[in-house]
């Protein structure tokens, strides 16, 4: 018996398959992108909560916010030392022009005039000026309050530093700049009328 030859695909059939595949991709891709975006936002919310909890534990143990350090190097924390205003994860090294800080449309978080320090100085070790001496160590410090290996350098899902306002004159918050990488929420808002702007992700501590 002669074997029957298999029939190949026609151009019309191949075109139809291509159209169907393209249609499925067009439907599936936005869904996948949306799921990835939602997962990143959920991760950012969770990490801001973890940082907020760390600040609260520090506050409960020491009786104060993590915002005092021997800035002038005189061996004591006194009136000559301006209080720290913002803590950050990641890197901020203006001398070597290295920074993971987000853009700041409000001008209240990242300018050089805003005194900033790494979370490492307060929440990982009890040595705010990192000089190895206990002159500005906090009494009753019970840390580390965050993971030594991770949180001191942790960035949000979009590659930017988390920032924490520790100036007690304003709402105490942890913020991620969100997907657009730009902070739109002013730090210097009244405590009783705080609002979040743009796509910022914020956890309020007080």
pLDDT per residue rounded down to tens, the chain (206 residues): 555 555 666 777 677 778 777 777 777 666 766 777 788 999 999 999 999 999 999 999 989 899 876 554 544 554 445 688 999 999 898 889 999 999 999 999 999 999 898 998 899 888 876 655 566 678 889 989 987 555 545 899 999 999 999 999 999 999 999 999 999 999 999 999 999 999 999 999 98
By the 10 Å C-beta count (0-12 exposed, 13-18 middle, 19+ buried), 199 is classed as middle
Query: Please, what sign has the CA dihedral across residues 198, 123, 49, 33?
Result: positive
Give residue 135's pLDDT: 60
Strands 98-99 and 92-93: antiparallel
- Structural domain including 90 reads 42-204
Measure the CA–CA gap between 175 and 49, rounded to whole angstroms. Answer: 10
Structural domain includes residue 128? yes
Quick check: is 2 in a domain? no
Q: Report if residue 33 sits inside a domain.
A: no
Provide the β-strand partners of residue 204: 173
pLDDT of residue 33: 67
CA distances from 170 to 23, 59, 205 (A): 51, 16, 11
Q: Is residue 87 within 8 Å of residue 66, measured between CB atoms?
A: yes
Residue 12 domain-assigned (yes or no): no
| pLDDT value of position 94 | 86
Flag whether 138 is in a domain. yes
Please check whether residue 26 lies inside any domain of the structure. no
Look at residue 88 in the predicted model and tell me its pLDDT. Answer: 95
Q: What is the pLDDT of residue 78?
A: 45
**What pLDDT is stored for residue 81 in this prediction?**
55
pTM for this predicted structure = 0.79
Q: Is residue 20 domain-resident?
A: no
| Tally of structural domains, the chain | 1
pLDDT of residue 131: 57
Any domain includes 152: yes
């Amino acid at each position: 018996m002669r074997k029957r030859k298999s029939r190949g695909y026609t151009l019309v059939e191949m075109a139809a398959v291509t159209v169907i595949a393209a249609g499925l991709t067009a439907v599936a891709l936005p869904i996948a992108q949306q799921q990835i975006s939602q997962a990143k936002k959920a991760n950012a919310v969770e990490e801001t909560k973890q940082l907020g909890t760390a600040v609260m534990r520090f506050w409960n143990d020491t009786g104060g916010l993590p915002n005092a350090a021997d800035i002038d190097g005189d061996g004591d924390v006194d009136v000559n030392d301006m209080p720290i205003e913002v803590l950050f994860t990641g890197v901020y090294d203006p001398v070597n022009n290295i920074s993971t800080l987000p853009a700041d449309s409000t001008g209240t978080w990242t300018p050089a005039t805003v005194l900033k320090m790494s979370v490492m100085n307060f929440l990982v070790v009890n040595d705010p000026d990192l000089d190895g001496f206990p002159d500005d160590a906090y009494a009753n410090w019970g840390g580390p309050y965050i993971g030594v290996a991770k949180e001191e350098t942790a960035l949000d899902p979009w590659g930017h530093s988390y920032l924490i306002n520790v100036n007690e004159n304003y709402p105490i918050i942890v913020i991620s700049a969100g997907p657009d990488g730009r902070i739109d929420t002013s730090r210097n808002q009244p405590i009783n009328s705080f609002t979040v702007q743009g796509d910022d992700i914020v956890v309020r501590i007080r």
